């Protein structure tokens, strides 16, 4: 079936399911690099902070940086 592309509104948050493939550490760091680039920021310091602890630290650092427009679902 072919359908018309659905356009998301800019105000809709991005949702990342942490229990799926997008929730692994490498995928989240990839998102962090992309979002940082989109916002015109350097991602190196953020990635270093994300890697400085365990998975919960990685999630908390990501949420602090992008929680205004990304929802993380557990």
> For every one of its 74 residues, what pLDDT tens digit does the chain have, with 9 covering 90 and above?
666 666 655 567 899 999 999 999 999 999 999 999 999 999 999 999 999 999 999 999 999 999 999 999 99
Task: Give pLDDT, residue 13.
Answer: 87
Task: Give pLDDT, residue 12.
Answer: 79
Closest alpha carbon to 74 in 59, 53, 54: 59
Task: Give pLDDT, residue 46.
Answer: 97
- How far is residue 51's CA from residue 6's CA, in Å, rounded to a whole number? 36
Buried b (16+ CB within 10 A) or exposed e, 58-73: bbbbbeebbeeebebe
């Amino acid at each position: 079936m072919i359908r018309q592309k659905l356009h998301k509104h800019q105000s809709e948050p991005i949702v990342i399911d942490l229990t799926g493939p997008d929730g692994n550490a490498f995928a989240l760091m990839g998102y962090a690099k992309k979002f940082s680039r989109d916002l015109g920021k350097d991602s190196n310091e953020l990635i270093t902070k994300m890697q400085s602890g365990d998975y919960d630290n990685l999630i908390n650092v990501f949420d602090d940086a992008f929680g205004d427009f990304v929802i993380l679902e557990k």
